[in-house]
A and B are shown apart, each in its own frame.
Chain A
Amino acid sequence: MNREAYEAVIGLEVHTHLLTRSKLFCGCSTTFGAGPNENVCPVCMGMPGVLPVLNRRAVELAIRTGIAAHCEIARYSIFDRKSYFYPDLPKGYQISQYETPICKGGYIDLPAADNGEPRRIRLTRIHLEEDAGKNIHGENFSLVDFNRSGVPLIEIVSEPDLRSAEEAGAYLRQLRAILRYVDASEGKMEEGAFRCDCNVSVRKRGAKEFGVKAEIKNLNSFRFVEDAIEYEVGRQIEVVEGGGRVAQETHLWDPARRQTRPMRSKEYANDYRYFPEPDLPPLIVPPELEEQVRSSMPELPADRKARYVRELGLTDYEAGVLVADRDVSDYFEATLPDLKNRKSAANWVMTEVLRVARDSAEPFADAVPPAREVGALLRMVEEQKISLNAAKTAFAAMVEKGKGAEATVAELGLAQVSDEGAIAAACDKVLAAEPEKVAEYRAGRDKLFGFFVGAVMKAMGGKANPKVINEILRAKLKG
């Protein structure tokens, strides 16, 4: 099979929960982790006679996301009813947006991959809709938890601009970064807050027309999206190479067997019978509201990255790593106030802090010491109160025991000795003990200088300021 002769054409539909306190059409809490059916009311249970009232915050967050993704914000959009029967869908229809989404067009820029160009992925639309509840199946019974019913979602639909599983992964990471920067979403996959449908087709490289696409539904992690696309692209190339035709069908990803399998047509062949939701007036976004949202927009990752390069003197790469995750970027900035050397702080966060975060199962904020303590630690290095190595030792202890920088350095006795008298005395001792090496050095064996520094450091228990040792030794050896 000649995989290289083909290219994949991929479009993604991402569903993500919006970070509102209450649900899209009622006042119930959106908090995750409540007991079954605790966050419910007649409205989100679809009781007879209830009516939806739109959550203003959800509209603002959708607009924020749209602005961040360069979309056109619709002045006028409407909600529609999407009808299907399922036990977790209380009204028998979902309130969604069909023909008139709140955000139209737009794009997301992907940073250049290794030996590649930056890529611009166009968006088709972003629309608002409500989530359904959750079915829980027992051996011979089923239960439904409606806590999630009515939680606000946005669906972000891309154009078929993605060309590989890796690119799809990069798009999702970039999208998640944007959502987190604008406080629209936490993008927490484990809580069902993120779901993705992929439309995948293949075509001969250079071909203009699209191949027949298959849809892979309901992927709930970036990893599954990448794996499923990778598998599906391979499968489709095999079908085409074998002279067959790809069937236009809907697949599910089986993560255990690492395969897609077609759903039975009964499972997806719904006629949703969309029509305008008569219980909600049209959603009008006056220019003033859009302007108000625009003026309250937080800094976006691309802007922040540019600022790091321009104002902090970081490289493009360093800035890119730091801004990729808003938590990391915010953390980095919180270490800065008392530091002169921004670059070394950036390095510290990128290496020491990120390593600790990676090795921990805890969320970032809980896994790493408070940013201001790391700032204090780095300031001690700057002021030569401790060595860089001592700082690493102290940092490990701070992660381990949770104490502050000062306390940890004091407790472990890591403070550097800069007292010239003490260091001079140690130097004298070392030189007196090694008259032959002193003679050799003076005869021109410069390399021995390191030996003397090491010996002095050892005599000082490793805590002497190496700069001071250098100065004193040099003066004495000239002697």
Chain B
Amino acid sequence: MASELNKLTIGEASSKLRAREITATRLTRDCLDRIAAVEPKLHAFITVCEPEALEQARAADARLAAGNAPALCGIPLGIKDIYATSRVRTTCASRILENFVPPFDATVIERLRADGAIFVGKTNMDEFAMGSSTENSAFGPTMNPHDTARVAGGSSGGSAAAVAAHECLGALGTDTGGSIREPASFCGVVGIKPTYSRVSRYGVVAYASSLDQVGPFARSVRDAAIILRTLAGPDGRDSTCSARPVPDYERALTGEIKGLRIGVPREFFVEGMQPEVENSVRAALDNYRSLGASTVEISLPHTGYAIAAYYLVATAEASANLARYDGIRFGLRVNAEDNIALYESTRAKGFGAEVKRRIMLGTFALSAGYYDAYYLKAQKVRTLIRNDFERAFEKCDLIVTPVAPTTAFKIGEKMNDPLTMYLSDIFTISLNLAGLPGMSIPCGHDSNNLPIGMQLIAPPFAEETILRAGDAFERTGAFKPRSPAV
């Protein structure tokens, strides 16, 4: 009979590993067995790293036996396939990188390795992180573990689904406009997008450099805090990475939020929102008040411009970031009679429709004569959005909103309507534009048993506030996430 160690939280597993009640090998084996059982239904992984993971597990067991191992030693994680991992291919869910094996590790991969974490596989995603449903993966979509006819969210859908379905204990995602928070919400797990610059981006395949941020998925706030602590901190290889010291996030989880001032932005409770989503978030706010927090209505007046600004800034940066996939040095090459034809045929074959759409949009936005009207204007909007938040945080310590206007939608439902798809990120995108930290935690279910997520937002580098408030909510037991149907 399976021991089902894969259902443990990271906190629980870590204690048992260090007490030598369980082994990393057993824990990893259970995750791999679970992967083998559910992957045909979920497709959360692009590449499963069974032999590598078991080898890492053996090394972790040796280290655990020696004592003094870090908290993540022996913990099986899923890694979004956007992180450079030496010896294991990094596809970014694109044909153009289908067989690309990086010659180096991303900084966060290096840090997790140093702590003895185990990588069970590379998770599915929207191609180059462009999408909100993981349907843009060149290798097929990821199904939601709560209802396999529905999307897992995106772009980090594979990581969210894998954690929800107990294929691993935690995972890494990236968030450019909501790509951690929206799938966390859809799959009923915790997902954190830290402050921009809190975590090194070195070795993370770039989509939109000024918006991309690395973050963890987990099944509890505490677990997410444990992973984040290893990820965060200065990196000499990323000049945009903050030099601020990293607090011990776990110590912030006091359960004490008396006096916390919670802002509720009126612009985030809009017409057309699924009523169950609003109800769940409002119920959570009641809960916070009962814990001694106060709520105050605030306004973020430029929220309505966020999506437009995002799709100019993100696509402009992407158009340059993706220029390196030219068939010359690595990845797919489709030969042709000259350079230009080689680029054209390689990129035509290698990129999917959404990636091409965003490259064209960004190229256009940066073209001579349009720069001021589009890119520059969008940057000004960004400043206005940042100012909105700064003003709001004069009145409150934390902002609470829904993560997405709806719960997980049906696979295929929005694929032919990119603009509707873009609206899935309406509540998450402004944080990336402002560089703020945000977390999605489960706060309810809709009538179809689909998870609903609540978003906690704090000022730059106030991750501790988010974690404390999220953990306090979990402790009330007001809402117990259900195990997925799979």
* Residues on A facing B (Cβ under 8 Å): 42, 45-54, 81, 83, 85-87, 90-93, 144, 271, 273-275, 278-281
Once the chains are docked, how many angstroms separate the CA of A92 from the CA of B318? 12
In the complex, chain B residues 257-296 whose Cβ is within 8 Å of any chain A Cβ:
none
Question: Which residues of A have CB within 8 Å of B100?
Answer: 48
- A281 near B329 with CB under 8 A, answer no
- Residues of B within 8 Å of A51, CB to CB, are 201-202, 237-240
- CB of B202 within 8 A of CB of A273, answer no
Tell me if B201 and A87 are in contact (CB < 8 A): no
Q: Say if the beta carbon of B368 comes within 8 Å of chain A.
A: yes
- Residues on B with beta carbons closer than 8 Å to the beta carbon of A81: 320
Chain A neighbourhood of B387, CB < 8 A: none
Closest to B328 in A: A87
Question: A46-B329, A90-B324 provided; 5 other pairs, C-beta below 8 A?
Answer: A90-B329, A92-B322, A273-B367, A278-B209, A280-B239
Cβ < 8 Å to A, chain B residues 188-236: 201-206, 208-210, 236
Q: How far is the CA of A251 from the CA of B298 in the complex (A)?
A: 61
Dominant secondary structure at the A interface:
loop
A296 to B369, CA, bound (A): 44
Minimum CB–CB distance for A93 against chain B, Å: 5
B339 touches A275 (CB 8 A): no
Residue of A nearest to B376 (CB): A275
A-facing residues in B305-339 (Cβ within 8 Å):
316-317, 319-320, 322-326, 328-330, 339
Stretch of B2-10, B49-57, B101-109, B118-126 with 4 or more beta carbons under 8 angstroms from chain A: B101-109
Q: Would you call B361 an interface residue if the criterion is a C-beta within 8 Å of the partner chain's C-beta atoms? A: no
Q: Which residues of B contact A280 (CB under 8 A)?
A: 239-240
Residue of B nearest to A279 (CB): B209
Query: CB of B97 within 8 A of chain A?
Result: yes
Cα distance, A48 to B104, chains bound together (Å): 10
User: Does B363 count as interface, using CB distance less than 8 angstroms?
Assistant: yes
A281 proximity list for chain B (CB < 8 A): 239-240
Interface string of B355-390 (1 = CB under 8 A from A): 000000001001110010001000000000000000
Given contacts A45-B329, A92-B320, contact A53 B236 (CB under 8 A): yes
Report Cα–Cα, A51/B214, bound state, in Å. 15
- Known A49-B202, A86-B339; judge A93-B328 contact (CB<8 A): no
In the complex, which of the residues A42, A83, A86, A87 contacts B103, with contact meaning CB atoms closer than 8 Å?
A42
Note all chain B residues with C-beta closer than 8 A to A87.
Answer: 326, 328, 339
Contacts of B206 in A (CB 8 A): 48-49, 279
- Given known contacts A48-B84, A93-B323, is B368 in contact with A53 (CB within 8 Å)? no
A281 to B103, CA, bound (A): 26
Known: A54-B239, A90-B329. A42 touches B102 (CB 8 A): yes
* Residues from chain B with Cβ under 8 Å of A45 in the complex: 329
Asked if B102 contacts A275 (CB within 8 A), the reply is no
Q: Which residues of B contact A42 (CB under 8 A)?
A: 102-104
A279 contacts across to B, CB distance below 8 A: 206, 209, 239-240
B90 within 8 A of A: yes
| Closest 7 A/B residue pairs (Cβ) | A92-B323, A273-B366, A278-B210, A278-B209, A48-B205, A49-B203, A46-B324
Cα separation A54 to B106 with both chains bound (whole Å): 19
Decide: A92 near B92, CB < 8 A? Known: A49-B202, A275-B371: no
The complex places the Cα of A45 from the Cα of B104 at a distance, in Å, of 13
Q: B427: CB under 8 A from chain A?
A: no
Name the B residues within 8 Å of A50 (CB-CB): 202-203
- Closest beta carbon of chain B to A342's beta carbon, Å: 51
Say yes or no: B320 contacts A273, CB within 8 Å: yes
| CB-defined contacts of A52 to chain B, threshold 8 Å | 239
In whole angstroms, how far apart are the Cα atoms of A209 and B210 in the complex? 44
With known contacts A51-B238, A279-B240, A273–B319 Cβ distance under 8 A = yes
Q: How near does chain B come to A330, taking the closest CB pair, in angstroms?
A: 37
A93 to B366: give the CA distance in the assembly, Å. 13
Subset of 13 A-B contacts with CB under 8 Å: A46-B329, A47-B103, A49-B203, A51-B201, A51-B238, A51-B239, A81-B320, A83-B366, A85-B339, A87-B326, A92-B322, A273-B320, A273-B371
Whether B375 contacts A48 by the Cβ 8 Å rule is no
How many whole Å from B35's CB to the nearest CB in chain A?
A: 25
A46 vs B340: C-alpha distance when bound (angstroms)? 19
Q: How far is the CA of A83 from the CA of B339 in the complex (A)?
A: 16
Q: Are A275's CB and B320's CB within 8 A?
A: yes
B375's contact among A46, A93, A271, A275, by CB below 8 Å, is which?
A275
Q: Complex formed: what's the CA distance from A81 to B323 in Å? A: 12
A91 touching B210, Cβ below 8 Å: no
Are B316 and A275 touching (Cβ within 8 A)? yes
When C-beta atoms are compared, the residue in chain A nearest to B362 turns out to be A273
Q: Are B240 and A273 interface neighbours, CB within 8 A?
A: no
Q: Are A85 and B323 in contact (CB under 8 A)?
A: yes
Cβ-closest chain A residue relative to B90: A48
- Inter-chain contacts of A91 with B (CB < 8 A): 320, 323-324
B83 CB contacts on chain A under 8 angstroms: 49
Nearest Cβ on chain B to A275's Cβ, whole angstroms: 6
Assess whether B237 is in contact with A53, with CB atoms less than 8 Å apart: yes
Q: Give every chain A residue within 8 A of B326 (Cβ-Cβ).
A: 85, 87, 92
Bound CA–CA A48/B323 (angstroms): 10
If A48-B92, A48-B324, A92-B320 touch, whether A85 touches B343 (CB-CB below 8 Å) is yes
With the chains together, A87 CA to B340 CA distance in Å?
A: 10
Q: How far is the CA of A50 from the CA of B235 in the complex (A)?
A: 13
Least CB distance from B356 to A in Å reads: 15
Chain B residues whose C-beta falls within 8 Å of the C-beta of A83 in the assembled complex: 319-320, 323, 366
Q: Are A275's CB and B237's CB within 8 A?
A: no
Query: Chain B: which residue is nearest A42 at the CB level?
Result: B104
A271–B365 Cα gap in the complex (Å)?
Answer: 12
Determine if B317 and A278 form an interchain contact, defined as CB atoms under 8 angstroms apart: yes
Docked Cα-Cα span, A434 to B366, in Å, equals: 99
Q: Provide the residues of chain B in CB contact with A53, threshold 8 Å.
A: 236-239
Q: Is the CB of A92 within 8 A of B339?
A: no
In the bound complex, CA of A271 to CA of B371 (Å):
11
Q: Which of A48, A52, A275 has the most B CB atoms < 10 Å from its CB? A: A48
Give the CA-CA distance A45 to B343 in the complex, in Å.
17
Nearest B residue to A266 via CB reads: B340
Q: Which A residues touch B367, using CB under 8 A?
A: 271, 273
CB-CB under 8 A from A90, the residues of chain B are 324, 328-329
Q: How far is B97's CA from A349's CA once the two chains are assembled, in angstroms?
A: 62
Q: Which residue of B lies closest to A46 (CB)?
A: B324
In the assembled complex, which residues on chain A have CB atoms less than 8 Å from the CB atom of B92? 48
Given A85-B323, A91-B323: A275 and B202 interface contact (C-beta under 8 Å): no
* Nearest CB in chain B: distance from A119 CB, A: 36
Q: Name the distance in Å between A83's Cβ and chain B's nearest Cβ.
A: 5
Q: How far is the CB of A64 from chain B (nearest CB, A)?
A: 22
Q: How far is the CB of B196 from chain A (nearest CB, A)?
A: 10
Cα distance A411–B104 in the bound complex, in angstroms: 63
Q: Which residues of A contact B330 (CB under 8 A)?
A: 47-48
Q: B residues within 8 A CB of A86?
A: 339
Q: Which residues of B contact A92 (CB under 8 A)?
A: 320, 322-324, 326
Closest to A45 in B: B329
B102: contacting residue among A48, A54, A278, CB under 8 A: A48
Residue of A nearest to B343 (CB): A85
- Nearest Cβ in chain B — how far from A23, in angstroms? 14
Q: Which of A42, A46, A51, A83 has the most CB of B within 10 A?
A: A51
Docked CA distance A144–B339 (Å): 12
Instruction: Compute how far the CA of A54 lies from the CA of B238 in the bound complex, rounded to whole angstroms.
Output: 10
Q: Which residues of A contact B366 (CB under 8 A)?
A: 83, 273-275
Distance A161 CA – B355 CA, assembled complex (angstroms)? 48
Q: Which residues of A contact B237 (CB under 8 A)?
A: 51, 53
| Interchain CA distance A90-B321 in the complex, whole Å | 11
Chain A residues within 8 Å of B106, by CB: 49
The distance in angstroms between the C-alpha atoms of A47 and B366, with both chains bound, is 23
Give the chain A neighbours of B320 by CB distance below 8 A.
81, 83, 91-93, 273, 275
Question: How close is B308's CB to chain A, nearest CB, in angstroms?
Answer: 17
Cα(A93)–Cα(B97), bound, Å: 20
Q: Which residues of B contact A271 (CB under 8 A)?
A: 367-368
Residues of A within 8 A of B236 (CB): 53
